[in-house]
């Protein structure tokens, strides 16, 4: 199968056709080899090569355009029609020559330059007025590949990529690698925005280009042996020279075909390499996406850790403040318990923790010495007291012992509470 392609955007772009050599049935070609001197010649940039892309998201490889040149005039000159209407449309002209050009094109990429002959009065007027100006090629594509995955599409196969869609930043195109000519059409809206008339001139014998076309079209090379025998000697010599040139040209064509084959093989190899590189690129892009995700996760975790650290630092600061406040309170309480003069609490708060702890340690020593002294005083007091009567001696002795014990316990309890709070 093959793919029929029409490069305009106001009607069906393509269809699938069976067979490899589908052509228009243009039986009206009889007698069309003569160029009417009253006709006009029009040069048209018909289609442009990649990297230029049409608005149908198709690209024609330079090699594809180059290889298609012969099919536009052989085995017959392809017609010039309107709007790709092959069934009942009017033929307004014929393609006399097709050239592959690489310089001074409107797209600044290689292109096919068509020279067409238009004999009809109305068609000539419409072309001269600019009414018929923009064009579109109608071809049968034998090799169409997806630019993303390289899938061959001309045989009816499909792939997951949609023409015109973007995948990983890359637009999907249908790349045309091989095609044969069907027709050239004047259309209202061409898919190739640069496809249009370039030059218009009359078909007169004085024009060297037109004369060359006429000689090429009207020359009859089907000579018989009798014709050659009766031919003047100078013409025989020219014929022999022509035959030698044909032989040389045939050899040159053979060499060019061989070179073209080698070039095609190199192109195929390069296309495979490109496909492999595309696969590697996609793999690296996926790996990069994974690394980006990991980076985002680590960034999130670092942010959470920083927030947690800030919270803990705030808690530590709060605990330190509470501990210092407890130290200050303990210091003040111990001074009050020892009967020392009042202190400036705010001044104590401005002291360092180590300074307050040292003061509390000193107070603790004083507290212990005070308790020992009081314990001795209480013991001496108990020894000097004399009971007035034997009847009351036991009772009073028990009471004083209890009071002594209670007083000592109170001092020890206060001191223990202060020390526990300090710790």
pLDDT of residue 219: 47
Nearest to 68 by CA among 209, 182, 193: 182
Sign of the Cα pseudo-torsion (287, 292, 298, 301, in order): negative
Nearest to 67 by CA among 166, 177, 156: 177
Nearest to 173 by CA among 149, 157, 190, 141: 149
User: What size, in residues, is the chain?
Assistant: 423
Residue 270, both tokens: 């390069």
Residue 298, both tokens: 């680590």
CA distances to 1, 19, 137, 139, 381 from 22, in Å: 10, 6, 15, 9, 137
Find residue 115's DSSP bridge partners.
43, 97
> What averages of pLDDT result for each successive group of 10 residues across the chain (423 residues)?
75 57 32 75 97 96 97 95 89 96 96 97 96 96 96 92 96 97 96 96 65 50 46 67 79 84 87 89 90 91 91 88 86 82 83 86 81 73 55 53 53 60 52
pLDDT of residue 414: 61
pTM of the model: 0.49
pLDDT of residue 381: 66
Neighbours of 194 (CB within 10 A): 19
Q: Where are the domains of the chain?
A: 2-219, 222-316, 352-422
Instruction: Classify 107 as helix, strand or coil.
Output: coil
pLDDT of residue 10: 60
């Amino acid at each position: 199968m093959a793919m029929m392609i029409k490069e305009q955007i106001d009607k069906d772009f393509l269809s699938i056709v069976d067979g490899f050599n589908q052509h228009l049935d243009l039986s009206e070609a009889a007698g069309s080899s003569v160029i009417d001197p009253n006709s006009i010649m029009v040069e048209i940039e018909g289609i442009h090569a990649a990297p230029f892309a049409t608005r149908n998201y198709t690209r024609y490889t330079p090699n594809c355009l180059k290889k298609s040149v012969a099919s536009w005039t052989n085995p017959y000159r392809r017609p010039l029609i309107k709007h790709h209407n092959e069934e009942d449309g009017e033929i307004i002209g014929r393609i006399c020559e097709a050239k592959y050009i690489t310089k001074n094109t409107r797209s600044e990429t290689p292109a096919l330059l068509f020279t067409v002959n238009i004999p009809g009065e109305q068609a000539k007027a419409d072309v001269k007025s600019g009414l018929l100006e923009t064009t579109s090629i109608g071809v049968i594509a034998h090799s169409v590949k997806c630019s993303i995955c390289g899938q061959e599409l001309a045989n009816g196969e499909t792939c997951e990529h949609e023409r015109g869609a973007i995948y990983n930043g890359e637009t999907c195109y249908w790349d045309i690698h091989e095609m044969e000519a069907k027709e050239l059409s004047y259309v209202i809206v061409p898919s190739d925005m640069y496809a249009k008339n370039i030059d218009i001139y009359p078909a007169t014998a004085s024009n060297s280009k037109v004369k060359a076309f006429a000689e090429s079209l009207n020359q009859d090379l089907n000579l018989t042996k009798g014709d050659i025998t009766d031919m003047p000697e100078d013409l025989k010599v020219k014929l022999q020279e022509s035959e030698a040139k044909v032989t040389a040209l045939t050899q040159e064509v053979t060499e060019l075909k061989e070179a073209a084959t080698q070039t095609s093989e190199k192109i195929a190899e390069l296309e495979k390499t490109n496909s492999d590189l595309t696969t590697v690129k996609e793999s690296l892009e996926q790996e990069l996406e994974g690394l980006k995700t990991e980076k985002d996760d680590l960034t999130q975790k670092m942010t959470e850790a920083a927030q947690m650290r800030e919270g803990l630092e705030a808690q530590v600061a709060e605990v330190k403040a509470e501990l210092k406040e407890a130290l200050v309170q303990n210091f003040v309480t111990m001074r009050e318990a020892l009967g020392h003069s009042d202190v400036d609490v705010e001044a104590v708060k401005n002291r360092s923790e180590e300074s307050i702890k040292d003061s509390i340690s000193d107070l603790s020593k004083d507290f212990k010495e005070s308790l020992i002294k009081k314990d001795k005083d209480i013991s001496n007091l108990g020894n000097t007291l004399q009971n007035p009567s034997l009847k009351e001696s036991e009772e009073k002795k028990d009471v004083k012992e209890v009071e002594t014990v209670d007083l000592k316990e109170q001092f020890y309890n206060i001191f223990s509470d202060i020390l526990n709070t300090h710790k």
